[in-house]
Amino acid sequence: MKTSCIIVEDIQIAADFLKKFCEKSGLVDVKGHFLNVADALEFLDQEKPDLIFLDVEMPGANGFQLLDSLTYSPKIILTTSKTEYAFDAFQYNVNDYLKKPFTYKRFLESVQKVQAQPVTSPATTTTAPSADMDFLFIKSDDKLVRLKKDDILFMESMRDYVKFVTPGKTYITYSTLKSMEEKLAGPSFIKVHRSYIININKIDDIRGNTIYVQGNAIPVGKGHKEDLAARLNIL
């Protein structure tokens, strides 16, 4: 079976070579090519290819920021013309590293090597899982914004978008509340309604079925009351 992949590369010539090599090898099926990290992340919210050919230096966010934002553990082949990234690549536990420009022979070696490697289980991966970090990146207004988890008051579902509310600003990003629930799994965040996830540390008070967070009234859904009560430190 062919390995499914995407190419994240801002230089068209480099991406074209990769597509040509993938096709020639018969080993890899290219599901998409993205010129920047934000577009790639949008795709990865919906689909989970086995392999990502990832450039490091691109306009906006870089390849390592994409790795920080991944919610699963695909195989990664870094493609860059800078050898200085080798150490970072090692730290992120990427599967291989191709220095651009590379030949078909080198490409084939890399793909075969990666295909022979076992699939990394989420428990052993060293690619920083976003739930363990104190920040996340969200795409807002055509850029990736670094958001500290501590700064988030709550998130509201808006169909295919999620609104992030912080004390000073509101961000709207193309994502789902379910995906955010997975990314923000931990003691600070809890889903209190089908349309809301709140930061427990930011609650001012609760009156009846409404939570108040810095002037915002958030409803508590019937099915979430018990979970919420269990998580609150009620004396």
Partner 1 sequence: MKPSTIFSFHESLNAAFLEELFEGDTIYAETVFEDFLRDLPAYWEKVQSSYQQKNMSLLGTNIHTCKTLFGYVGFTDLQELCQEFENKCALNTAEALQADYGMLTRKKQEAQQIIENEYSRLKRFNEGQV
Q: Is 136 left (phi over 0), alpha (psi -120 to 50) or beta?
A: beta
What is the edge-to-edge ordering of all strands in the sheet holding 75-80? 28-34, 3-8, 51-55, 75-80, 96-99
Residue closer to partner 1 (CB basis): 10 or 181 = 10
Q: Which is nearer to partner 1, 16 or 204 (CB)?
A: 16
Instruction: Return the number of the residue (89 or 211) whose C-beta is nearest partner 1.
Output: 89
Nearer to partner 1, 19 or 48 (CB): 19
Q: Is the separation of the CB atoms in 30 and 22 below 8 Å?
A: yes
Q: By CB under 8 A, name the one of 4, 11, 48, 216 that touches partner 1.
A: 11
Exactly one of 2, 23, 47, 57 binds partner 1 (CB under 8 A); that residue is 57
Residue 12 interacting with partner 1 (CB under 8 A): yes
Mask 65-84, x = binds partner 1 (CB under 8 A)? ----------------xx--
d(CA 193, CA 108): 49
For residues 231 and 122, give the distance between their C-alpha atoms in angstroms, rounded to a whole number: 26
Lay out the sheet containing 216-219: strands in order across.
205-207, 210-213, 216-219
135 binds partner 1 (CB under 8 A): no
Choice from 13, 158, 185, 229 touching partner 1 (CB under 8 A)? 13
Contact between residue 74 and residue 96 where contact means Cβ atoms under 8 Å apart: no
Q: Does 100 bind partner 1 (CB under 8 A)?
A: yes
**Residue 14 touches partner 1, criterion: CB under 8 A:** yes
- The verdict on 88 binding partner 1 (CB under 8 A) reads no
Distance, in Å, from the CA atom of 50 to the CA atom of 181, rounded to the nearest integer, reads 23
Contact residues: partner 1, CB under 8 A: 10-14, 16-17, 20, 57, 59, 81-82, 100-101, 103-105
